[in-house]
């Protein structure tokens, strides 16, 4: 009985790992690429692509959010506290540092 339970557990774990390793629609190599991985779609909808990053510095968080509508961006730091984020490098993504409701730095990636 114990060997049967061990065998069934091993099979279930193996099948579970195999299911996780199959590329999903947003992973490279699949025909169904999501919009987040298409830089051309991002550039076409990002109205702030023409302005330099340092133009956002000093603006309120609300103003920066409005300017970055359609762009890939995130807040990486708020009032000196780092916020969680992925470690992937995306050249078109702006990472913002916010202090007291104002943008104090902008970095790409």
Q: What is the pLDDT of residue 26?
A: 42
- Tens of pLDDT along 31-79? 443 334 444 455 567 888 888 999 999 999 999 999 999 999 999 999 9
The pair of structure tokens assigned to 44 is 């076409």
Q: What is the pLDDT of residue 53?
A: 92
CATH 3.30.10.10 for the 53-109 domain, yes or no: yes
Where in the chain are the domains? 53-109
pTM as predicted: 0.58
- Tens of pLDDT along 2-26? 877 676 777 766 666 655 554 544 4
Long-range contacts, 48-54 (Cβ 8 Å, 24+): 49/92, 53/94, 53/106, 53/107, 53/108, 54/106
Q: What is the pLDDT of residue 48?
A: 83
């Amino acid at each position: 009985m114990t060997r049967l339970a061990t065998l069934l557990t091993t099979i279930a774990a193996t099948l579970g790992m195999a299911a996780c390793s199959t590329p999903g629609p947003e992973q490279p190599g699949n025909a169904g690429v999501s919009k987040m991985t298409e830089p051309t779609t991002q550039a076409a909808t990002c109205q702030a692509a023409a302005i330099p990053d340092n133009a956002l510095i000093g603006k309120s968080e609300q103003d920066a959010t409005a300017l970055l509508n359609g762009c890939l961006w995130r807040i990486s730091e708020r009032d000196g506290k780092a916020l969680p984020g992925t470690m992937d490098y995306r050249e078109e993504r702006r990472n913002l540092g916010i202090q007291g409701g104002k943008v104090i730095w902008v970095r790409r990636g």
